[in-house]
Amino acid sequence: MRAPTLFLASAIAVLSGFALAQSPGPTPAGGGWDVSTLAGKWTYRSFLNDPTLCCQDPDTNTDARNLLNLLFAEAVFTFQLSSNTTLTGAIDWQGGGLDLRGTVTGGETGTPAVRIIGTGRPNTGTAGWEYDYEGRLAYRWPNGVNQVAALVGSVIRAKPHNGNPAGVVASFIAVKQP
């Protein structure tokens, strides 16, 4: 009778070890960033998704202009968290802005991510505008030196405005301000 019991105990130990070896375990939120990192001000820049290399011609002096032409928008995100899953705020630029509302996911088990809807403000030049943002906190390197939190993602013009069509997509990066 001892042999089957010993065999069963050995099998459980081997299978347990196999399961542990296959599972990397919990991932720290954002590689070290947590949901509270999202609150505050962020310098926002979005870029048109044009794969053409713009800074490779040493015979011209147009590299900076070509790079600048990829800039879709530059602004400031301001986020408040009313809970670990609800975000509100604004995106403001010289001459305009949008009100933001969104959700936060993944903060308990992985990298915090956001889905945000930006809507134009009534009685302003952005009335009727709508942009949707989806982003995630960039990985926080354990051996990074003076790393600043960055939110990376994409944005889509959800509604047409001022003769510009809906559906235009750009990539963005927002860097946390001190």
Q: What is the CATH number of the domain that holds 85?
A: 2.40.128.30
Comparing 54-58, 85-89, 136-140, the range with the smallest average pLDDT is 54-58
Give a yes or no: residue 55 inside a domain. yes
Tell me what the mean pLDDT of segment 120-131 comes to. Answer: 97
Give a yes or no: residue 43 inside a domain. yes
Give how many domains the chain has, as a whole number: 1
Q: Residue 71: what are its φ and ψ, rounded to 5°?
A: -70, 120
Q: Calculate the alpha carbon distances from 6 to 9, 12, 14, 85, 138 in Å.
A: 5, 10, 12, 49, 48
> How is residue 9 written in tokens?
């105990």
Give a yes or no: residue 5 inside a domain. no
Do residues 61 and 35 make contact, with C-beta atoms less than 8 angstroms apart? no
Domain that holds residue 152: 35-176
Give a yes or no: residue 29 inside a domain. no
The upper half-sphere exposure of residue 141, i.e. CA atoms within 13 Å in the direction of its Cβ, equals: 7
Tell me what the mean pLDDT of segment 63-90 comes to. Answer: 93
Comparing 42-51, 57-66, 169-178, the range with the smallest average pLDDT is 57-66
3-state SS, residue 21: helix
Give a yes or no: residue 60 inside a domain. yes
Give a yes or no: residue 86 inside a domain. yes
Give a yes or no: residue 11 inside a domain. no
Give a yes or no: residue 142 inside a domain. yes
pLDDT at 59: 67
Percent over 70 (pLDDT), the chain:
79
> How is residue 112 written in tokens?
């915090």
Sequence-separated (6 or more) residues with CB below 8 Å from residue 104: 35, 38, 81, 84, 85, 86, 87, 112, 113, 114
Q: Residue 115: what are its φ and ψ, rounded to 5°?
A: -125, 120
**Whole-angstrom distance, CA of residue 36 vs CA of residue 150:** 13
